[in-house]
Amino acid sequence: MHNENLYALLASRFPKRPDAPCMILADGRVWTYQDVECASARMANLMFSLGLRPGDRVAAQVEKTPEALVLYLAAIRAGMVFLPLNPAYQRQEIDYFLGDAKPGLFVCRPQTRALANELAAKAGVANVLELGDDGRGSLIDAATPHPDTFDTLKRKGDDLAAILYTSGTTGRSKGAMLTHRNLAVNALTLHEYWQFTPGDVLLHMLPTFHVHGLFIASHCALLNGSAMFFENKFDIARALKLLPQSTVFMGVPTYYVRLLAEQGFSREHCADMRLFISGSAPLLKETFDEFVKRSGHVILERYGMTEGGMFTSNPYDGERRGGTVGFPLPCTKVRIIDDQGAPCKTGAIGNIQVRGGNVFVGYWQMPEKTKEEFTADGWFKTGDMGMLDADGYVSIIGRSKDLVITGGLNVYPKEIEGMIDALPGVAESAIIGLPHPDFGEAVTAVVVRAKNDRGAALSEAGIIAALRGELANFKLPKTIHLVDDLPRNAMGKVQKNVLRERYSGK
């Protein structure tokens, strides 16, 4: 049987030179590809010594370190199912995840050990080990005596490799089950589509509890046998120092906004860069345009989600069109349909559905929810709304749950946000719908003031006056809240559910 274990695929592309760098750290230390092989072997051997068996879950709520990435690789190498958890999660969330996934091993940070022990005991989790922000802890101590060789377990493509819980903004968090094939198909597709070549160096500043940093960025680099500048977070000073030594950078829109806010950022920093990629949240057209002027590079925006990695991408060769997420990737089919299930015409807004080898197999222990989220003919309902232009580029209009229905008429937030964002003195905005006795929902704008005189002069009346005549009356915000910032999750997405909760009583 051919071994379809994702680790076997990745390792087959590792450099033959044992001293080839894999992760270069801020303090100058270097993890070679041989170090990764040996350390993942020791951790895989440890997992079996603890009594874990193929298919058991390994949960980790730790900060980004080389050891944390190796823990993920060790888990899939051993045939386990990896479960990354955001370090920001608190008692109630951890309690739910442990109780739902019932992992055989939970790796926590030392400072949360007491809580981890308590919740693990409640959930029946047999093993709890620590991994600190410095890469040390009882996990490393326990793994060190074990052999640094391990025969990567044979897995079929449809065996589970990871469970990633969705954010759970509405109802229970759902555990998206991703197989070795799901992850391999997406990794191979992106590696080729984004034209990774020998000598590429990735500047890796993303967190590793999320698809973007753990799978998209890391898999591309590992498949390429590339070195990564493995930074524990985005830091503007470090970015300016490392960009001249890198060729590829993947970030969320906030990273690009911060680069542009830095007066010293220029084309000189990007002279050897090959590719800038943005995702996880919408990239404002003005950020896209300004980045071209300042850096000489056109950001490549793409679209995906936890349930399948990447679905679309702007082209590597060809026009990268601002405000769009490009074309369906070779591994994914995309269709946009109306509420009756009929294909939408060019330029018409509809529901985005996808299918392909990268699309997940369902939600952990939620067969009814899984059935509900797939169509009878096997397409996954993303919950996003979008449209195709005449050239085949996909644009994301927003989440279907963020659609505002006022007086029986549909209002798409992105249309109004685009107009407000273009006004002098506006940094960004978010449109939400709030309960209204007459209209059902009232269009409400939350507007962030720019940090300048124009921002200080912004007023609700002024914004309404600027929009009147440009928008149909039913689309005009009934209320505008002027704020200093918008709530975001760890990947930079605006949390509209938080805004709805915050302003629903006002």
pLDDT at 441: 84
Query: What b/e sequence results for 217-231 when a residue is b if at least 16 CB atoms lie within 10 Å of its CB, and e otherwise?
Result: bbbbbbbbbbbbbbb
Q: How far apart are CA 141 and CA 129, in angstroms?
A: 10
Architecture field, domain 6-188: 3-Layer(aba) Sandwich (3.40)
**Close Cβ partners of 222 (under 8 Å, ≥ 6 residues apart):** 10, 13, 14, 22
Task: Give me the DSSP letters along 117-128.
Answer: HHHHHHHT--EE
- Which of 60, 49, 45, 138 minimizes the C-alpha distance to 106? 60
Cα dist from 421 to 224, 264, 416, 445, whole Å: 39, 25, 9, 11
Instruction: Read off the tokens for 353.
Output: 């559905």
Cβ of 67: how many Cβ atoms within 10 Å? 22
pLDDT at 167: 63
CA angle in degrees (0–180, nearest 5) for 233-238-243: 110
Q: How far apart are CA 368 and CA 136, in angstroms?
A: 42
CA angle in degrees (0–180, nearest 5) for 322-325-326: 95
Asked if 6-188 and 403-503 have one fold, the answer is no
Q: How far apart are CA 176 and CA 166, in angstroms?
A: 7
Task: Kindly report the three-state secondary structure assignment for every residue of 313-326.
Answer: ECCCCCCCCCCCCC
- Which of 82, 120, 43 minimizes the C-alpha distance to 210? 82
Instruction: Read off the tokens for 165.
Output: 């819980």
State the average pLDDT for the chain: 94
Cβ of 147: how many Cβ atoms within 10 Å? 10
Q: How far apart are CA 121 and CA 112, in angstroms?
A: 14
Q: How far apart are CA 366 and CA 389, in angstroms?
A: 36
**Close Cβ partners of 136 (under 8 Å, ≥ 6 residues apart):** none
Instruction: Read off the tokens for 309.
Output: 């990695």
pLDDT tens for the 506 residues of the chain, in order: 799 999 999 999 999 998 999 999 999 999 999 999 999 999 999 999 999 999 999 999 999 999 999 999 999 999 999 999 989 888 888 999 999 999 999 999 999 999 999 999 999 999 999 999 999 999 999 999 999 999 999 999 999 999 999 865 445 789 999 999 999 999 999 999 999 999 999 999 999 999 999 999 999 999 999 999 999 999 999 999 999 999 999 998 889 989 999 999 999 999 999 999 999 878 888 899 999 999 999 999 999 999 999 999 999 999 999 999 999 999 999 999 999 999 999 999 999 999 999 999 999 999 999 999 999 999 999 999 999 999 999 999 888 888 888 877 778 888 899 899 999 999 999 999 998 877 778 899 999 999 999 999 999 999 999 999 888 888 999 999 999 999 988 778 899 989 998 998 75
Question: Is 136:60 a contact under the CB 8 Å cutoff?
Answer: no
pLDDT at 491: 74
Rounded to a whole number of angstroms, the distance between the first and last alpha carbons of the chain is: 62
Q: How far apart are CA 464 and CA 477, in angstroms?
A: 7
Cα dist from 495 to 23, 67, 429, 488, whole Å: 32, 31, 12, 5
Give the residue extent of every domain in the chain: 6-188, 403-503
- Which of 247, 241, 253 minimizes the C-alpha distance to 220? 247
pLDDT at 469: 80
Instruction: Read off the tokens for 15.
Output: 């450099």
Cα dist from 188 to 51, 77, 406, whole Å: 33, 18, 44
Task: Give me the DSSP letters along 416-439.
Answer: HHHHHHTSTTEEEEEEEEEEETTT
Main-chain phi, psi angles of 25, to 5 degrees: -95, 165
pLDDT at 38: 98
Q: Among the CATH numbers 3.40.50.970, 3.40.50.1950, 3.40.50.720, 3.30.300.30, which is that of 403-503? A: 3.30.300.30
